[in-house]
Each structure stands twice: as structure tokens, then as C-alpha cells.
């Protein structure tokens, strides 16, 4: 397996634009996580899915953020409209079970200008 | 409130100089403690899981230990390639169950 695949690796967008981040988890993993990493706040869990169903989205900062998992091999994180304070590295991770090792993607570095 | 705190924030060592990184936690009912390594520009990479006090895990120059209040990541005779940020994480219940990460320790090994 190629691991968790995220796209794009880098995204630069203007404030107010819609941004969509994509993730392909490891096949067979039942859990998918979206994290955001910044210098100030570290690695924060935004939302996670179990068998494509959102379980906890309490980490999603605002209604501007939304995430979907239409099937077991694909998930998206959308920000609409984007703001400069959304600039961060966004990671997707997947795992077999909730409390087992999670495998992270390479991340998407988002810059909102 | 469940918390995970790592210290120091940054550590600079000479090659071969052993040291330890600390991860202290306050959670009710520990369900495991995870150590990850993160290189610049990459996602965290899993190192160890510890489930009970007294447990130890080793991998090359790294050894992780766990007590009821904290975990240590011991680095013996480190090499420059051990330079990275080391993160610990603990499952907590905040509404739903989730994994909470510490802020990490940025380790630099000078040749």
C-alpha cells in the first residue's frame, strides 16, 4: 500500500476562495482523521470518521469548515470561505482501530493570502 | 481537564550525548500512550505504543517507558539522523473519544 495520500501538497489561495483538500486512506482502515498543525497550537484533531460516518467534529473551528467521506477510499476537507488564519498544514491519517497506530499522510500546506 | 504536556520544547545535543524527553499527562483511565516522530515537511511517523505503567519499548537508539503520570523517551548515543520533533499522544474523552497530541520536543543532534 502506498500509505495515506493527500492532495494537493501545497495550496495558495486568496482570502474568500473555497479550498478543498483531499485524502485517500490506507485500504482496510476503518478510521480516518483530519488534523491541523500550526506553530502556535500544535497538532489539533478537527474531525474523525469511523466506517465513513463522522463521529466527532468538535474540533472543526467554524461552520466554514466541512468534511465528507463519501466512501471508504476518499475524504475531503473543505473551507469556504477561506481566511488567512486558516493557513496551516492539514494532515489526514488513518488507522485500523481508534486506539491503534495512525498512519499520516504528507500533509497539505495551505496558505491563504 | 485531560492534558498532555511535553518537555523540553527544544533540546540540542552533541552526537553521542544521551538524554531523555518527557511527556506528562493527566487523563482518567489511560488507554495507551503513543510516541511519534515528525521530520520537517512530513507527517508524524509512529514509533511506540505503551499501555500500562512499567511497560517499556525499544527501537534502535530509542527506548520509551511509562509510569502512571508520565512517559519518557530515552535516546542513547544519538546520531544526527535522530534529529526530529518527537510527539506524544494520549486518547482522551472530550465528548467523543479522541487522540490528543502534546506540543512536541524539537530535538537537534549536532555532529
pLDDT in tens, B41-93: 999 999 999 999 999 999 999 999 999 899 999 999 999 999 999 999 998 87
Q: Is there a contact between B43 and A99 if contact means CB atoms under 8 Å apart?
A: no
What percentage of chain A carries pLDDT values higher than 90?
A: 88
Q: Which residue of B has its CA nearest to A100?
A: B49
C-alpha cell at B53: 505503567
Q: What is the mean pLDDT of chain A?
A: 95
> Is A58 in Cβ contact with B94 (below 8 Å)?
yes
CB-count exposure of residue B107 (10 Å: 0-12, 13-18, 19+):
buried
Does the pLDDT at position A37 exceed 80?
A: yes
B78–chain A Cβ distance below 8 A for any pair:
no
Q: What is the pLDDT of residues A72-111, one digit of tens each?
A: 999 999 999 999 999 999 999 999 988 788 999 999 999 9
pLDDT value at residue A111: 98
**B35 interface with A at CB cutoff 8 Å:** no
Beta bridge partners, A104, equal A93
CB contact under 8 A, A42 and B31: no
Indicate which of A49, A89, A101 best probes the interface with B, i.e. most B CBs within 10 Å of its own CB.
A101
CB A76 within 8 A of CB A100: no
A12 pLDDT higher than 90: yes
CB atoms within 10 A of CB B16: 11
Candidate from A76-85, B9-18, B21-30 with smallest mean pLDDT: B21-30
Residue B4 to residue A90: CA distance in whole angstroms: 21
CA distances from B31 to B68, B90, B92 (A): 12, 7, 8
Amino acid at each position: 500500500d502506498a500509505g495515506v495520500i493527500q492532495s494537493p501538497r501545497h495550496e495558495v489561495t486568496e482570502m474568500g476562495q473555497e479550498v478543498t483538500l483531499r485524502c485517500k486512506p490506507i485500504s482496510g482502515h476503518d478510521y480516518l482523521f483530519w488534523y491541523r498543525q500550526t506553530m502556535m497550537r500544535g497538532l489539533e484533531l478537527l474531525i474523525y470518521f469511523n466506517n465513513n460516518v463522522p463521529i466527532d467534529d468538535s474540533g472543526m473551528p467554524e461552520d466554514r469548515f466541512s468534511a465528507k467521506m463519501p466512501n471508504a477510499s476518499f475524504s475531503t476537507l473543505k473551507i469556504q470561505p477561506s481566511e488567512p488564519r486558516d493557513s496551516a498544514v492539514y494532515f489526514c491519517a488513518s488507522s485500523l482501530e481508534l486506539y491503534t497506530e495512525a498512519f499520516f499522510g504528507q500533509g497539505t500546506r495551505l496558505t491563504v493570502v | 481537564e485531560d492534558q498532555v504536556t511535553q518537555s523540553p520544547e527544544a533540546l540540542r545535543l552533541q552526537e553521542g550525548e544521551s538524554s531523555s524527553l518527557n511527556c506528562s499527562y493527566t487523563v482518567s483511565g489511560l488507554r495507551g500512550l503513543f510516541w511519534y516522530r515528525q521530520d520537517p515537511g512530513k507527517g508524524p511517523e509512529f514509533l511506540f505504543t505503551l499501555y500500562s505503567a512499567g511497560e517499556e519499548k525499544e527501537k534502535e537508539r530509542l527506548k520509551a517507558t511509562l509510569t502512571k503520570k508520565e512517559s519518557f523517551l530515552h535516546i542513547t548515543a544519538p546520531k544526527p539522523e535522530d534529529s526530529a520533533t518527537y510527539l506524544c499522544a494520549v486518547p482522551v474523552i472530550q465528548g467523543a473519544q479522541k487522540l490528543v497530541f502534546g506540543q512536541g520536543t524539537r530535538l537537534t543532534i549536532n555532529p
